[in-house]
Structure 1
Amino acid sequence: MLHFTDSLYQWLDTSTLTVVVPTLIVLVHLIPYLLDPHGLRLYPGPFLAKFSDAWLGWVAKNGHRSEVVHKMHLKYGPFVRIAPNHVSIAEPDALAIVYAHGNGALKSRFYDAFVSIRRGVFNTRDRNEHTRKRKIISHIFSQKSVIEFEPQIRHYVGLFITQWDRLCDAAAKGLSGPEGEGGWKGEDGRLWLDCLPWANYLSFDIVGDLAFGAPFGMIEAAKDSALVPRNPKAVMESYGSDAASEVVEIPAVRILNGRGEYSMSMGVLPSWWRPIVRQLPWYKRGQKDVQTLAGIAIMAVARRLATPTDRVDLLSKLKEGRDNDGNPMGREELTAEALTLLIAGSDTTSNSTCAILYHLARNRHVQEKLHQELDEQLGTEDETVANGQQVKRLPYLDACINEALRIHSTSALGLPRVVPEGGLTVLGQFFPEDTVLSVPSYSIHRDTTVWGEDVDNYRPERWFEQDQAAIQKTFNPFSVGPRACVGRNLAFLEVQIIVASIMRRYDIILENPDQPLETREGFLRKPLGCKVGIKRRDIL
């Protein structure tokens, strides 16, 4: 036996391994391509993507997945193979098929990379479990509930405008200061600052109040800051707030961005790659971001549950929810769903707000037209914050918002779905069971047959001119079908109030009108900054 072991070690010397390991890697990727179990070999796409998930993994890690996949569609056509078992379909008519109610398609293993505390309504892949969770959660986003949340939204928009007014007054005197990320300065009678951090402060404080019962205090501090427990596990195991007293301050927005990029990059890799890849330095940092972000929810929920209150917010409504058997969510599940609300309710709103302000600042004629609608419909009295009833009668505001969401969909990538038993036919192409399909929002939002030849231009008027049926079928900012964003009504009302209130009060220009809005994509497509010049409008 000893002799055999020695012989084995001699055989597995370094020179042998340098041959064997690469050969195995090649075979692992080449054999599935040759066998072609899903019949995808004839679909065009990047050469490496036909053999390995590494191509999509590399593209995702570099932060521009949607743009790169869109270029592949422009090169190869509507059906593009972006991984050995993944076909991207850039056709508006495919939306209603791939994401349809009752088609049996499930979320792919991509979503496993987004699980931290436990599976939530966003990343659960089991149909029955998703139905159970959605039944508990959907009632909190009913129209009645959304109306109940409006005062909190308006309160923080008011705080935001108070801060900008204060800085505008200082800027008018030619002062500058270090407040907020990137600082601010007064020049040419305007306040100059990066509006992205401020959009983050606003959205985090709103969702902190709605989801956890208290804001993070970012608006007042003008700082990316949140508290997390030193020992999240201890907080989860204790049902009081004592364990949450040991806290550290973290940059929550930065952590959220890191978590999104990590999960996105990890999600496109095969399951058997993930334990290996997690050992690389960049992925280790991302894994830490996942754990740190979960700590925010763990501590906030622990503190809230330790202090009974009759306050109406998302967390209280989550606690009241019951499944078909009359059972509420357990504490761990409640915390996981609260974390989902934090991520979905903060990042998407701040990204969208920043993108909308960018396009309005860059397109002065559009801003002037929006100012006119706001003045005519809301009056010129010095009322700081618009309300829900007022924004309902602002069609041009909606067009401005929707046009920005078309160009800058925060969720721009194609959300992957697994073809169910029996296969699925999409636009004349049959795909067998277990094939992964997706429809990229970034690409269908640039379909010239729907939006016109000027798809890259920000032009809200197209929402009144183009074929409305085609637009409604193609526009996909919140996804469609049974897994569509459950909070879309609240999200859109929030953006309406924010944009109406800011644009009614201020005139905004870009620091560099010729500079495109730079972005980086994790799971969501985020602006990297937007420097603008702000001044109070003369009529107010």
Structure 2
Amino acid sequence: MALVQIYFLFFGTLGLSIVLYRLSSAHPLSSVPGPYINKISKFYGSWVSASGKRHILQTALHEQYGSIVRTGPNEVSVLDVAGAKEALRLPRSRFYTQRSVHGLVNLAGSAHTPRRRRWERGMNAESLAEYDESLMVTTQKLLGYLNKSSGEAVDLCEWLNSFIYDFSVDIAFGEPMETLKEDKSRTAQFFHSIENGFKNMSVLGQTPWLFAFANKFAPRKHPMFGSELAQRRIARGTTKRDLFYHLIDEEVPEAKPPMREVIADCGLLVSVSLTTPSVLSCLFYSMLAQKQHYEAVKAEVDARDETLTAVVAANYPFTVACINEALRLYPPTPTSGQHEVPKGSGGQTICGQFLPEGTQVQVPLYAMHRRPEYFSPRPNDFVPERWLDGSLDLTKDAFMPFSYGPANCVGRNLAWREMLVVTVALMREFEMELPKGFDLDAWKDSFQDFYIATRPPLPVILRPRA
């Protein structure tokens, strides 16, 4: 009994000492404002992340405390544009780099640069032009299957998920997929499992040491995503220059990267591409909720008589403005990932606050994009005109849907191409409306942040246009 009491006394004293230190003026982040519960532990952040409402909490914290907020014992959140740019130039945090298999998103510094270079070859203008054939074929398949549901309410989110998955696997591994024609109950389970993976990342990301423990000891229930696709791709050989071709450096016979890294990167493209259906769903929700915007996009699309291959952003300014506004209100990564002041740097000053080495820094894009100082008036409303006529306050530097700096989204041009082509194709092909009784507020409030944005089903009634 005495031994048990000693243990309780020891760990109780240790825990109390840690709490008092984190709340004291001796802590290097003591001058950064924030709620006491966040200064003590990140477990509250994990609990909020599990609810999918971390973006709401971050917005409220910045409204209360200002441009920089202490969101953990050793973490701050930055909302000022200049400070955000400095933060996003920092290396990614330990949460990314401690993973056992490293895709591009998990790398920093000298390991990131050569991998990023291969990705950029796979995402340059020449490569995107080569992927366009697959985009056109997959888009036509989407239109064909949706035409079979004429007059019925279909879950547009679900169909867009299947579309993006089929297209992404094709350009990543050179293998066309057919989830568009599969039973949607089966594909929904698959996409739900991917979202669950991001949810686990979001929750465990608040406590990187716990993630390291889980990553080391948790049982592996599934083989590495993309392994079978990669094996078939190797056996088939190169029939077209897909992303696999660029990532494995097929033009350079020596010094091939490890196959596990190539598979991780191709799998990363497929998984992260599911942010595109999220943005498109929010776009069509916003346009159908305010039909004047839907009608304006339809008129702009009808005024152009060109093939989908010839669709370019310059010819569709209002459509592009609507996509920008959807990206602003519903960014693909609402609270973005963590960055870290690197060891050996001597620390860094951001927003007038000195941050010592090892400090975790986050930029909540959802809150940034709705800040009245940068987007006024009506920062919380869908107002695509703010991108066109200059009559509304707009700070374009605060618009960072694809992040910023050396670790920004390397596939942003591909995502833009997908969103524009699919939007134009759907607007040309169908008249759309939301079902009677659809709860607009409930759908908007169901937007969740699990590292990537997730959203509920979006029932839309489609009718082929004459």
Give yes or no for TM over 0.5: yes
Residue 145 of structure 2 is aligned with which of 138, 163, 166? Answer: 163
The Cα RMSD (Å) is: 2.6
Which AA in structure 1 matches 2:264?
Answer: A
Higher relative CO (CA 8 A, sep ≥ 6), structure 1 or 2?
Answer: 2
Relative to structure 1, is the Cα distance of residues 442 and 272 closer, same or farther in structure 2, using a 3 angstrom cutoff?
Answer: closer
Q: Is the 8 A contact 1:388 1:493 kept in 2?
A: no
Shift of 1:430: 2.6
Residue 27 of structure 2 is aligned to residue 27 of structure 1: no
Shift of 1:465: 3.2
* CA distance in structure 1 between the partners assigned to 2:176 and 2:10 by the alignment: 57
Relative to structure 1, is the Cα distance of residues 414 and 334 closer, same or farther in structure 2, using a 3 angstrom cutoff?
Answer: closer
* CA distance in structure 2 between the partners assigned to 1:326 and 1:304 by the alignment: 19
SS of equivalent residue, structure 2 residue 152:
strand
Shift of 1:494: 0.8
Report Cα offsets for 1:1-55 as digits up to 9, x if no partner.
Answer: xxxxxxxxx5333x665555444333344334437442x1122222211111112
Residue 105 of structure 2 is aligned to residue 122 of structure 1: yes
Residue 116 of structure 2 is aligned to residue 131 of structure 1: no
Give the number of the structure whose alpha-carbon radius of gyration is greater: 1
Report Cα offsets for 1:463-492 as digits up to 9, x if no partner.
Answer: 013489953311111111100011111111
Which AA in structure 1 matches 2:356?
Answer: P
SS of equivalent residue, structure 2 residue 326:
helix
SS of equivalent residue, structure 1 residue 534:
strand
Aligned runs of 1:60-75 on 2, under 5 Å?
60-75=49-64
* CA distance in structure 2 between the partners assigned to 1:29 and 1:131 by the alignment: 39
**Structure 1 segments (4+ residues) deviating >6 Å:** 276-279
* CA distance in structure 2 between the partners assigned to 1:158 and 1:334 by the alignment: 30
Aligned runs of 1:4-403 on 2, under 5 Å?
10-13=1-4, 17=7, 20-34=10-24, 36-38=26-28, 40-100=29-89, 105-112=90-97, 115=99, 118-125=101-108, 127-168=109-150, 190-223=151-184, 225=186, 251-271=189-209, 274-275=212-213, 292=222, 295-320=224-249, 327-345=255-273, 347-378=274-305, 386-403=308-325
Aligned runs of 1:348-497 on 2, under 5 Å?
348-378=275-305, 386-420=308-342, 421-466=345-390, 471-497=395-421
Shift of 1:253: 0.6
SS of equivalent residue, structure 1 residue 251:
helix
Relative to structure 1, is the Cα distance of residues 272 and 525 closer, same or farther in structure 2, using a 3 angstrom cutoff?
Answer: closer
* CA distance in structure 1 between the partners assigned to 2:131 and 2:211 by the alignment: 43
* CA distance in structure 1 between the partners assigned to 2:354 and 2:205 by the alignment: 25
Which AA in structure 2 matches 1:93?
Answer: A
Instruction: In structure 1, list runs of 5 or more residues that go unmatched.
Output: 1-9, 169-189, 227-249
* CA distance in structure 2 between the partners assigned to 1:109 and 1:390 by the alignment: 39
Which AA in structure 2 matches 1:108?
Answer: S
Report Cα offsets for 1:134-188 as digits up to 9, x if no partner.
Answer: 12221110011111101101111110110111111xxxxxxxxxxxxxxxxxxxx
Relative to structure 1, is the Cα distance of residues 276 and 20 closer, same or farther in structure 2, using a 3 angstrom cutoff?
Answer: farther
Q: Is the 8 A contact 1:203 1:349 kept in 2?
A: yes
Q: 1:6 corresponds to which residue?
A: none
* CA distance in structure 2 between the partners assigned to 1:124 and 1:265 by the alignment: 20
Shift of 1:327: 2.3
Residue 523 of structure 1 is aligned with which of 447, 451, 460? Answer: 451
Which AA in structure 2 matches 1:471?
Answer: T
Which AA in structure 1 matches 2:35?
Answer: P
* CA distance in structure 2 between the partners assigned to 1:77 and 1:312 by the alignment: 48
- Counting matched residue pairs gives 460
SS of equivalent residue, structure 1 residue 449:
coil
Q: Is the 8 A contact 1:94 1:426 kept in 2?
A: yes
SS of equivalent residue, structure 1 residue 329:
coil
Report Cα offsets for 1:340-365 as digits up to 9, x if no partner.
Answer: 111122x1112112111111111100
Shift of 1:333: 1.6
Q: Which moved more, 1:432-441 or 1:522-531?
A: 432-441
* CA distance in structure 2 between the partners assigned to 1:362 and 1:387 by the alignment: 29
SS of equivalent residue, structure 1 residue 296:
coil
Shift of 1:277: 10
Relative to structure 1, is the Cα distance of residues 435 and 96 closer, same or farther in structure 2, using a 3 angstrom cutoff?
Answer: same
* CA distance in structure 1 between the partners assigned to 2:128 and 2:152 by the alignment: 33
SS of equivalent residue, structure 1 residue 214:
coil
Relative to structure 1, is the Cα distance of residues 308 and 513 closer, same or farther in structure 2, using a 3 angstrom cutoff?
Answer: same
Q: 1:514 corresponds to which residue?
A: 440
Relative to structure 1, is the Cα distance of residues 440 and 37 closer, same or farther in structure 2, using a 3 angstrom cutoff?
Answer: same
Instruction: In structure 2, list runs of 5 or more residues that go unmatched.
Output: none
| Percent identity between the two aligned chains | 24
Q: Is the 8 A contact 1:109 1:267 kept in 2?
A: no
SS of equivalent residue, structure 2 residue 384:
coil
Q: Is the 8 A contact 1:198 1:222 kept in 2?
A: no
Q: Is the 8 A contact 2:87 2:350 kept in 1?
A: yes
Report Cα offsets for 1:100-131 as digits up to 9, x if no partner.
Answer: 4xxxx211122247x35x11211113x00001
Report Cα offsets for 1:271-328 as digits up to 9, x if no partner.
Answer: 167537998xxxx6xx76xx53x533111111211222322211122223679x9622
SS of equivalent residue, structure 2 residue 164:
helix
Report Cα offsets for 1:373-407 as digits up to 9, x if no partner.
Answer: 0000237xxx7xx2244454111111111100100
TM-score by length of 2: 0.91
* CA distance in structure 2 between the partners assigned to 1:29 and 1:327 by the alignment: 50
Q: Is the 8 A contact 1:322 1:329 kept in 2?
A: no
* CA distance in structure 2 between the partners assigned to 1:148 and 1:469 by the alignment: 39
* CA distance in structure 1 between the partners assigned to 2:35 and 2:225 by the alignment: 40
